[in-house]
Chains A and B, each alone.
Chain A
Amino acid sequence: MDKLLTLTLGGLTSGAVYAALGLSLVIIFRATRVVNFAQPALALISAYVAFSVNKATGGYWLGFAAALLTGALLGALTERLIMRRLADRGHLAPVIVTLGLLMVLQAVAGMIWSAEPRSFPYAFDFRGTFSPAAGFAVAVVLVVAAGVLVLFKATPLGLRMRAAAFRPDVAGLLGVRVGLMLTIGWTLAAAVGALAGLLAVPPFIYPTALDSVFVHALAAAVIGGLDNPVGTIAGGFALGVGLSFVSGYVGPELVTMAALAILVAVLVVRPHGLFGHAVARRV
């Protein structure tokens, strides 16, 4: 029983991270129909900024804030400088460009902070079966997810963002500044991604620290439905717990295989994820 409990709670903690990074993917996907492969690198750079601020000032929360700001800024810059030029270029070009950005940013991280792993603190004490640090991770992810949901469903800004995403032409005619909405979407998503990074990197940060987290986050988003924030959050937690069980009861080498199996099982039954919606056929 002790083992079951430990594995469940451990899985929930990693699941919170998958959910948060998955949420950042969903926000961008809803806005632009792009899967942002550069997301782990944006989060990585943000976390490294937190690392440097921590080192310089000795405080955790200043670094935390700096990371969120960095994430937001990087997101806005990515949209303005790069992604905007790719409008109407199909679904492949954004994949490749964000992959290129991933390489560049990981290389930059290696250049500035070296490939060696560095110690990166948790927000709170990490000891205990369900530690304050784990509790913080789960809580903050749930709060942010709720916030994003309220923003989308219940605020004028959210309404404008949805309009800009689904019918940019009509939204433009109605006076919505479509370009600005896209920038806001990327900024918000990258800030959420930075938060995911801050929760994911402890205890060690190194340039490839978020790669496997990203694969699991993408899996979570695909399982939940890429256009559905609630589904993605649920997918993230479910995947975290599921993989923790596989690792604990079957073997750690099977974790990636299990992720594949879960993904295939879900997609065979529901090709657009558990909670996703099929996009109407383009005519």
Chain B
Amino acid sequence: MSLRFQRLLLILLTLVIILSAVLLILYNTRENVSYFYTPSEIDKSEITIDKIIRIGGFVENDSFNKISSSSFKFRITDERASILVTYNGILPDLFREGQGAVIEGAFVDKNIFNATNVFAKHDENYMPASIKEDLKDTGYWNKEYK
């Protein structure tokens, strides 16, 4: 085995070891690395009142209620569980029913989540606005596109 090949092997082996060490750490701390919980990850029995967390999911259809000009009520869902959210403040432009959103705040009791921040989440699909109109006209508009 030539010297340069030995050095190459040593470097690659070290890299693999470092990478697996880092990945192990990240894997075991994944709950802290994740930016938000989904509604179904939140176990109703273990809700801590007033602890600041973030939940993410879709704004449930037909759940959005405007109470006053800056006070809103809606549900966040991941199709398996849903959580009632109240919010006082300004909503981002993209926020609407069926749209992804991440909510920062705390549970005020077991069933009501009071948001202090609302972020809109958009998906990885990009499409010209004119095509959406065409699809809607022809009835091919698919809920999958959100």
- A and B physically associate: no
Residues of chain B having any CB pair with chain A under 8 Å: none
